[in-house]
Amino acid sequence: MVPDEAIRHSLTLIAEHPQVLAVGKPKAIGESGAMAVEVTFEVNLPNEWRRGGESPTGVRLQEPVRFDFPSGYPMAPPEVSLRRDFTRDLPHIQPWTVDGRPVPCIYDGDLTELLHQAGLVAILNQAALWLDRAALGKLIDPEQGWEPVRRDEFVDFVIADEEVLRNWVDKDGGFRFVPMRFVTVNSEDGSLASVQCQLSSDSVSVNRNTIQHRVRPWGNDGQSMYWGDSLALVVCPGKEPSGKEIVCDSYLPETVKDLHDLKQRAGDYGCGKDLDTALGWLKNCLSAVNVKQTIPLAVILLARRPINLIGSESPVELCPYVVEVTAPQLFGAGPATPVRPAAHRSSITSGLLARMGGGPDLVERQDWTLVGAGSVGSKLALHLARAGGGPSVVVDKSSMAPHNAARHALIPEFGDLQMLWTIDKACKLTNALAGLDQTAKPVTEDAARMLLSGGGSNGAWSRRTWAVVNTTASLALREAFGVAKSMPARVVETLLFSAGRAGVITVEGPDRNPNTVDLMAEVYAAMLEHPSVGSIVFDSDASVARRRTGQGCGSMTMTVSDGRVSLFAAGAAEYLLGNQREGLPQASGEILIGRLCDDGLGVKWQSRQIEPLTEVRAVHGTGWRVRIHPRALARMNDEASRWPNDETGGVLIGRISDVSRVINVVDVLEAPKDSERSPHAFLLGTKGLRRRIEEYSTAVGWSLYCLGTWHSHLEEGGPSNKDRATARAVALARLTPTVFLIKTPTSFHALALNA
């Protein structure tokens, strides 16, 4: 058979490689069009080995390597195999052979992807590099770690938490039985096709009384699939007679085929005696049991290596196998009973999720509370949980409703019983988190009432809480957080505006200064600097409205696609994940404003640090506090420095909270040009002032408005009688609380009227 054009071109390319000495004549493999060609590589042996033509590891100066080009080449890569008598006692050797020829693991990844990314030359380079390293005995790099036996091509697998199993290894060795659930899949001819097992993380005591409950089939699907309960046997290496820990420093390829091989391999790993003892005890326990169907038993040999495994902080390697057992004889064919090497798959643990999320294992999961388990909250929780950092408490007073399925991160089960979907949101979300190995407490109470009642938090937060994340967009709850002096944790708030075209994240500062109410006032003020975002945020046509969710029923909600909610939730999740790993801002609060890109495919975020606010207790307004924002403080300082010998002043802009009895002074307008200044008095002018105030408030959707006025004193001292009279006169024209702020060289004084 003549090779096709793609293979002929590749043979020419192979011949030009600098380490290729010869390219043999291609031979057909069957009638599919596949071709095999033997390529001779020159291995870079040191001079002292070149005379003998071979390295101490058995690699020759000239090594024949066969490339099997499939009929689908170049869509699929060639398979690389070595000469039949090439030693298999080297690392990076696959557990299978091709026509009896060992298969080297030349690339840590998919050869198909390598072929399409870098071409056949890359595969040739990897093969040549593998031979050079094999000759030098450097296939295992101590700085990189020990290469585990390749098991990724096995059809049987065992799911287990490797950290739990590794922690069982000590100098004394021994064995443990572990509860196991299994699924066996049979081929059409009835033969066993695959075994899938999942191990518990707790060992159990096994005896004649308990064995019948531990080993039993309990389901089948038309004879093609069985599932049930069984046991796994975990065997640990012990110590030598000298007391030294047994270490297996020889790389052994996976060649176990039967019980005899398994026992021999256990001996190689230093746990042969314990395996014999455990199997003997298991046979004794099964002697009184009669189970007709064979049951899979998982056996995990733990091998202690001289260095830590690649990607691990442990030198213990897991080597899993599955073997079918029957009662009462245990192994029907004795030493010839087939044993199937299995692949290990990590259990779903927070550590695994943290690694897959691109970060280190979280040494200790941080306690944080999610308030609001709706569309934004559920996505935020699951994004963080899938990185190993989900919430420890979920607070939501509401129950799920069918319309929540439009944007909620959880998915209703298929079927007619949609009523099962309508349980408490907090409970539904915490159930999902449990599947990601993260326990969370559901709290189904009203968060605002908990904050305002003084009756305790019901475990929703504590001094250990890293942060409380509010995703409800509730104005009332924000006010409740602002007034809650006993809140022990910093509050983070996330919310969307205007059909998901803009979003905000606020993070309280240390000691909750600035707090979540202060920060939302800062967000509104920032809209003056970002009018394109402000026009979106204050768009009344795209705000929250009552939407029909059933005949005669409705819900106050925002009409927005699930994808758009996910865009903002993903950004918030990434921000929180980074802060979990690096810590919240240490000296300030922070606001982040996100705007949907014009193409609707992304979000552009802008952040700003907000320094702590200055607080002044007001007189004439019992319990009222004036909180001066850094922006306003800086402008008052600048104005006072411009007039060092005269009193000066201006207009205060901000918000008033009747709940917390706080007046937020967010910004300051410069005094009109017709204002009068002197060393002992300041008279605020009026020219153009009303227009300027209206323009400011209109630009921010009247979320900020005129609060009163401020002026400076050149000397220390509180408000004079004239100041009080002026304040009363102006307050008569307002029904809302009015603040008059006096700035002295070192402090502030505040008058609050109509409060």
What is the token pair recorded at 266? Answer: 């256990």
Nearest-angstrom CA–CA distance, 305 and 140: 12
Q: What is the structure's pLDDT at 722?
A: 59
For residue 306, whether the previous peptide bond is cis, meaning omega lies within 30 degrees of 0, is no
The mean pLDDT of 594-598, rounded to a whole number, is 92
Least reliable range by pLDDT among 5-19, 86-100, 366-380, 475-489: 86-100
Whether 90 contacts 99, CB under 8 Å: no
The mean pLDDT of 747-754, rounded to a whole number, is 86
Map tokens 């975020």 to a residue. Answer: 605
Provide the 8-state DSSP code for 458: T
The mean pLDDT of 13-21, rounded to a whole number, is 96
pLDDT digits (tens, 9 = 90+) for 644-683: 999 999 999 999 998 889 999 999 999 999 999 999 899 9
Q: What single-letter amino acid sits at 214?
A: R
Closest to 322 (Cα-Cα) out of 185, 513, 499, 212: 185
Name residues whose C-beta falls within 8 Å of residue 385's C-beta, 6 or more positions apart in sequence: 353, 391, 433, 436, 438
Nearest-angstrom CA–CA distance, 632 and 634: 5
The per-residue pLDDT of the chain, averaged, comes to 88
Check the CA dihedral 562-563-566-567 and report its sign.
Answer: negative
With both helix axes pointing from N to C terminus, report the angle between 425-434 and 375-385 in degrees, rounded to the nearest 10. 20
Nearest-angstrom CA–CA distance, 236 and 227: 28
Q: Identify the three-state secondary structure at position 531.
A: helix
Backbone angles phi, psi at 48, to 5 degrees: -70, -20
Closest to 669 (Cα-Cα) out of 642, 643, 641, 697: 697
**Residues found in the chain:** 755
Q: Using CB atoms within 10 A of its CB, is residue 406 exposed (0-12), middle (13-18) or buried (19+)?
A: middle
Nearest-angstrom CA–CA distance, 163 and 628: 52
* Residue 720 pLDDT level (bands cut at 50, 70, 90): low
The mean pLDDT of 310-328, rounded to a whole number, is 91
* Residue 550 pLDDT level (bands cut at 50, 70, 90): very low
pLDDT digits (tens, 9 = 90+) for 134-168: 999 988 888 888 888 888 778 999 999 999 999 99
Q: What is the structure's pLDDT at 481?
A: 94
* Residue 733 pLDDT level (bands cut at 50, 70, 90): very low
For residue 217, whether the previous peptide bond is cis, meaning omega lies within 30 degrees of 0, is no
pLDDT digits (tens, 9 = 90+) for 673-713: 999 999 989 999 999 999 999 999 999 989 999 999 999 99
* Residue 276 pLDDT level (bands cut at 50, 70, 90): very high
What is the token pair recorded at 749? Answer: 């004084």
The overall pTM is greater than 0.85:
no
Whether 653 contacts 666, CB under 8 Å: yes
Nearest-angstrom CA–CA distance, 138 and 288: 52
pLDDT digits (tens, 9 = 90+) for 227-261: 889 999 999 998 888 889 999 998 888 889 999 99
Tell me: pLDDT of 547 over 60. no
Q: Identify the three-state secondary structure at position 101.
A: strand
Nearest-angstrom CA–CA distance, 618 and 65: 88
* Residue 416 pLDDT level (bands cut at 50, 70, 90): low
The mean pLDDT of 195-219, rounded to a whole number, is 86
* Residue 423 pLDDT level (bands cut at 50, 70, 90): confident
Q: What is the largest CA-CA distance in the chain?
A: 111
Helix H segments across 583-629? Answer: none
Tell me: pLDDT of 554 over 50. no
Whether 442 contacts 430, CB under 8 Å: yes
Provide the 8-state DSSP code for 313: S
The mean pLDDT of 721-728, rounded to a whole number, is 55
Nearest-angstrom CA–CA distance, 441 and 544: 30
Check the CA dihedral 40-41-45-50 and report its sign.
Answer: positive
Q: Identify the three-state secondary structure at position 202.
A: coil
Nearest-angstrom CA–CA distance, 301 and 175: 9
Q: What is the structure's pLDDT at 95?
A: 80
Q: What is the structure's pLDDT at 546?
A: 43
Other C-beta atoms lying within 10 Å of the C-beta of residue 14: 19
* Residue 4 pLDDT level (bands cut at 50, 70, 90): confident
Nearest-angstrom CA–CA distance, 708 and 730: 8
Nearest-angstrom CA–CA distance, 372 and 396: 5
What is the token pair recorded at 23? Answer: 């390219």
Backbone angles phi, psi at 579, to 5 degrees: -75, -30
Least reliable range by pLDDT among 409-423, 459-473, 545-559: 545-559
Nearest-angstrom CA–CA distance, 746 and 714: 10
Q: What is the structure's pLDDT at 623?
A: 82
Tell which wins on pLDDT, 737 or 653. Answer: 653
Q: What is the structure's pLDDT at 419?
A: 63
Q: What percent of the chain has pLDDT over 70?
A: 91
Q: What percent of the chain has pLDDT over 90?
A: 64
